[in-house]
């Protein structure tokens, strides 16, 4: 059998530290996540305890400085971690990805006082963080957001609501984009809202297609008071902060798709070697082999593109945003197709929960929608090519 079953990375030179990170994550995922992933999905159980157990492994602040408990790793290292976690459960991996995105925004744009106040508890995962940008009336057009924050004495008073917020209701910290100024992106600010802020509440858990192991709810602000010192950077800087967070977030989500797709291909390779039809294992049919060949090609192309995009972000390359968008678009589309093809290769059994493949299809589907839809990724890429 071919090396594809072992998350091959030989086409991209990883150093010894990166291989060690990859192996450590794979063994955690195999022991602590994979055996429970189907139960969590079926029972819609949020395993906060297992999520928090990744804190001591350094997953609470993967690319946050070590002075506040972070791991001080790079974007490529992070991609390796999310890919390995997602092979066990894409929803679990993406939850940790969003926590890291929100924490990084505080690390990168917060004051020293804010870093010291929030980050040690976020990197240890004593606190979990949400990223609050989307609103009921503003998704792709995020700069049209309406949640307002008005300065009143030593506080900001927030009114409005956020839609589809991952971890809402369970998490401790809400990194929130709110309007402090005029319409458009320049009127947006980023405010860190703690869960116990007066006037903060949450909608009921959404009934979703996938990502069942993590809650998605509305976040509602009704005269919600937050100390003014929770503003990140300055008023008006918030849209840029939100977009900077997404550059890395998009790579992480793509890594979650890649890990899920690799798991789907591995399952398809095992299943088609065992399953008999017309007197032989079904992987003897060339039509089916061609499908496996295309799946492997899609996965390896995704991996090369994603690792290249991550290396560009690490190098602060001027075209890193374009590469993040291209990788997110290509990898999440390709890997969804791979998972869906794996389901097809399992025949009717692929449609059954216990085989694990239909969960991968459901989990990977949302990656084509969130952190900017794949249509918006094309908008970003095209802007880099032809201007606004
Ligand atoms: C499970 C889940 C978890 C989520 N978690 C979070 C979270 O933690 N935090 C957060 O802030 N958000 C989160 N989101 C929200 C997500 O980012 C948005 O759903 C997404 O950005 C799309 O916004 P929308 O749903 O309002 O769709 P719309 O913006 O209304 O888009 C509808 C359709 O129109 C297309 N479209 C819109 N504008 C254009 C254009 N200019 N050109 C071409 N096509 C266009 C879109 O691509 C899409 O196909 C989550 C969503 C889901 C489903």
The whole-angstrom separation of Cα 78 and Cα 208 is 27
Report the nearest-CA residue for atom 16 of ligand 1.
Answer: 370
Rg (CA), the chain: 21
Tell how far the Cα of 370 is from the centroid of ligand 1, in angstroms: 6
Provide the residue-wise pLDDT of the chain in tens; the chain has 388 residues: 333 333 445 556 889 999 999 999 999 999 999 999 999 999 999 999 999 999 999 999 999 999 999 999 999 999 999 999 999 999 999 999 999 999 999 999 999 999 999 999 999 999 999 999 999 999 999 999 999 999 999 999 999 999 999 999 999 999 999 999 999 999 999 999 999 999 999 999 999 999 999 999 999 999 999 999 999 999 999 999 999 999 889 999 999 999 999 999 999 999 999 999 999 999 999 999 999 999 999 999 999 999 999 999 999 999 999 999 999 999 999 999 999 999 999 999 999 999 999 999 999 999 999 999 999 999 999 999 998 7
Report the b/e string of 59-97 with b at 16+ CB within 10 A: bbbbbbeeebbbbebbbbbbbbbbbbbbbbbbbbbbbbb
Token pair 């909608």 is found at 203
CB distance 175 to ligand 1 below 6 Å: no
CB distance 165 to ligand 1 below 6 Å: yes
CB distance 242 to ligand 1 below 6 Å: no
Q: DSSP string of 160-192?
A: EEEEEEETTTT-SEEEEEEESSSSSGGGEEEEE
Closest by alpha carbon to 135, among 242, 257, 250, 251?
A: 242
Tell how far the Cα of 369 is from the centroid of ligand 1, in angstroms: 6
The whole-angstrom separation of Cα 146 and Cα 160 is 7
pTM of the model: 0.96
Secondary structure (3-state) at 388: coil
Ligand 1 atom nearest 369 alpha carbon: 20
Ligand 1 atom nearest 374 alpha carbon: 47
Tell how far the Cα of 247 is from the centroid of ligand 1, in angstroms: 16
Tell how far the Cα of 376 is from the centroid of ligand 1, in angstroms: 9
The whole-angstrom separation of Cα 36 and Cα 46 is 11
Would you please indicate which residues are annotated as catalytic (active-site) residues? 371
């Amino acid at each position: 059998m071919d090396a594809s079953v072992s998350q091959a990375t030989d086409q991209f030179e990883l150093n010894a530290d990166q291989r060690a990170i990859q192996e450590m994550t794979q063994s955690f995922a195999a022991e602590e996540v994979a055996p429970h992933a189907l139960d969590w999905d079926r029972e819609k159980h949020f395993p906060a305890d297992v999520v928090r157990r990744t804190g001591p492994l350094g997953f609470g602040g993967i690319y946050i400085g070590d002075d506040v408990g972070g791991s001080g790793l790079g974007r490529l290292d992070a991609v390796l971690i999310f890919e390995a976690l997602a092979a066990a459960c894409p929803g679990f991996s993406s939850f940790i990805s969003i926590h890291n995105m929100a924490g990084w925004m505080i690390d990168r744009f917060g004051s020293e006082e804010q870093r010291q106040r929030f980050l040690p508890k976020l990197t240890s995962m004593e606190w979990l963080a949400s990223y609050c940008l989307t609103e009921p009336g503003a998704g792709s057009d995020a700069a049209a957001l309406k949640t307002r924050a008005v300065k009143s004495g030593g506080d900001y008073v927030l009114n409005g609501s956020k839609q589809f917020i991952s971890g809402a209701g369970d998490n401790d910290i809400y990194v929130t984009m709110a309007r402090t100024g005029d319409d458009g992106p320049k009127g947006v600010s980023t405010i860190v809202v703690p869960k116990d802020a007066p006037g903060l509440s949450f909608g009921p858990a959404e009934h979703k297609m996938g990502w069942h192991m993590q809650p998605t709810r509305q976040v509602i602000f009704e005269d919600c008071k937050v100390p003014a010192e929770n503003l990140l950077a300055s008023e008006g800087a918030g849209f840029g902060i939100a977009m900077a967070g997404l550059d890395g977030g998009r790579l992480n989500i793509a890594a979650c798709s890649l890990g899920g797709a690799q798991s789907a291909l591995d399952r398809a390779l095992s299943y088609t070697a065992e399953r008999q039809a017309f007197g032989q294992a079904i992987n003897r049919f060339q039509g089916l082999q061609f499908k496996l060949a295309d799946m492997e090609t899609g996965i390896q192309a995704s991996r090369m593109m994603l690792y290249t995009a991550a290396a560009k972000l690490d190098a602060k390359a001027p075209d890193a945003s374009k590469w993040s968008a291209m990788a997110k678009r290509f990898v999440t589309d390709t890997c969804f197709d791979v998972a869906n093809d794996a389901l097809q290769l399992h025949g009717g059994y692929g449609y059954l929960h216990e085989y694990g493949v239909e969960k991968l299809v459901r989990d990977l589907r949302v990656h084509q929608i969130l952190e900017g839809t794949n249509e918006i990724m094309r908008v970003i890429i095209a802007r880099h090519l032809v201007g606004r």
